[in-house]
Amino acid sequence: MADFIYNSKTHESTTLIGEDLVRLMFEIEEYIILFINEKGIIKSWNKGAEFIFQYEAHEIV
């Protein structure tokens, strides 16, 4: 599985595959990214969510 990422600031695009995509998502600090299962339980979140909500992932997951 590959995902296409477009950076609107630099107008560059990148194709990320698997682990690279997941690693990038957890490093993003400008946006909140949550992984929630079908029951609505938070399974993980990124640094942006930690900054906004002021909780580290291990305190929520």
pLDDT of 4-59, one tens digit each? Answer: 455 556 656 665 566 777 777 788 888 888 888 889 889 888 888 898 899 988 88
Domain count, the chain: 1
Q: Can you give the length of the chain in residues?
A: 61
Task: Using pLDDT thresholds of 50, 70 and 90, give the confidence band for residue 2.
Answer: very low
> What secondary structure, in 3-state letters, does 11-27 show?
CEEEEEECHHHHHHHHH
Q: Does the pTM exceed 0.75? A: no
Which structural domain range is residue 53 located in? 2-60
